[in-house]
Amino acid sequence: MDFKKYYPLIPMFIISVILLAVRLAAPELSQIVSLALFYVALGEAFNIFTGLTLYVCFGYVAFVALGMYGSGLALKYILATSNPPLVTTILFSFAVAGFFAFILALVVGSIGLRLRGAFFAIATVGLSEGLKNFIEGTGIWGGSSGLIIAGDLISSYGHETYVFVSTELADYLMFAVYVLSLLVMFLITKSRFGYGLTALKEDEDVANVMGVNTVRYKLMTFVISAALAGMIGATKMLKDLVIYPPQAFAISYTVEAIVITMLGGLGTVTGPVIGGLVYSILKYMLTVSFPGLQLLILAPVLIAVCVLFPYGIVGWVKRRFRGTLIDYLLV
């Protein structure tokens, strides 16, 4: 076996361990760490589709939102019908979250991914708003008054467990989803599938005449990415334990996912990790020091960074140290 190709996992492992250690050792930083974990996971999941294919889904937040709803409904359902151990409840709600997002991506992708690049992006603009309006309009899943899960959790497991789930467990589950996304992305780039995607990303027609089933490849990255986004939603649901359509379907998440992957390095494995960390720290600091003005300051800074580093931070470092160990280990 060729172990060398797994060496880039070492720096990823170190970064991840540091992140986890900070969360464990410094509970006073838990607020910023959980923010960071959310953005890192979101960026990585988003990157699996957009970074590998250069297709953008402007309704991406719909998968996170559907994951929130899926897991919330699953949790409510399972606790209403039986009283299983917490682990079972959580695993079940994660599975449902991933499945909901997967199905939505399968439907949207099967139709939309026959379109090329920009046309697909335009076609997905209305996805999240449409879904939100549907929920609010028809009143399903709590409609515009939202879905409150906290009560179900308290009545089944007690107040202590409820606090533990939303303040502790949710963070570690987010960490787990982040690690899963990172590994999936890494394994894809090292596989034959990733090889075909490289061609697809460069030139879809050429990939096709090399025998790559481009529609299926795009669809596969899309559903994988969406299922992970759904699990991010499940974690977010456990953290908030309440789902309101405007927050669940906040367009800012899609925009932030784009910014994070661009900032870190689109299509690189570690890019969204770096991008997510930088972004969340910046956002947190600005929110603390200039409350209300954070976006006004953040936007020009991010535009400047994207112009100065068109290949993202990781892309820039790789180019700067081309051919060295750093270039090799940083993927």
Which residues of this chain interact with another protein, rule CB under 8 A? 192, 195-196, 198-199, 202-203, 205-206, 208-215
> Would you call 282 exposed, middle or buried from its count of C-beta atoms within 10 A (0-12, 13-18, 19+)?
middle
CA torsion angle 27 31 34 39 (round to 10): -150
State the Cα–Cα distance between residues 191 and 280, nearest whole angstrom. Answer: 31
Q: Which is nearer to another protein, 104 or 212 (CB)?
A: 212
Give Rg (Cα) of the chain.
Answer: 20
Residue 114 per-residue DSSP state: T
Least distance (Å) between residue 32 CB and another protein: 37
Q: Which is nearer to another protein, 62 or 212 (CB)?
A: 212
Neighbour-count burial for 312-328, b at 16+ CB within 10 Å, e otherwise: bbbbebbeeeeeeeeee
State the Cα–Cα distance between residues 285 and 292, nearest whole angstrom. Answer: 12
Least distance (Å) between residue 215 CB and another protein: 8
Question: What secondary structure, in 3-state letters, does 158-174 show?
Answer: CHHHHHHHHHHHHHHHH
Q: Which is nearer to another protein, 170 or 317 (CB)?
A: 317
Least distance (Å) between residue 196 CB and another protein: 6
143 and 243 in contact (C-beta within 8 Å)?
no
Q: Which is nearer to another protein, 87 or 209 (CB)?
A: 209
Least distance (Å) between residue 308 CB and another protein: 21
Q: Which tokens hold the place of 98?
A: 């991933």
Phi-psi region of 84 (alpha: psi -120 to 50; beta: other; left: phi over 0): beta
Q: Which is nearer to another protein, 200 or 227 (CB)?
A: 200
Q: Which is nearer to another protein, 180 or 190 (CB)?
A: 190
Distance set, CA 20 to CA 13, 16, 142, 275 (Å) = 10, 6, 35, 17
Least distance (Å) between residue 207 CB and another protein: 8
Q: Which tokens hold the place of 227?
A: 């299922």
64 and 253 in contact (C-beta within 8 Å)?
yes
Least distance (Å) between residue 213 CB and another protein: 5
Least distance (Å) between residue 212 CB and another protein: 6
Least distance (Å) between residue 321 CB and another protein: 17
Q: Which is nearer to another protein, 114 or 159 (CB)?
A: 114
Q: Which is nearer to another protein, 37 or 212 (CB)?
A: 212
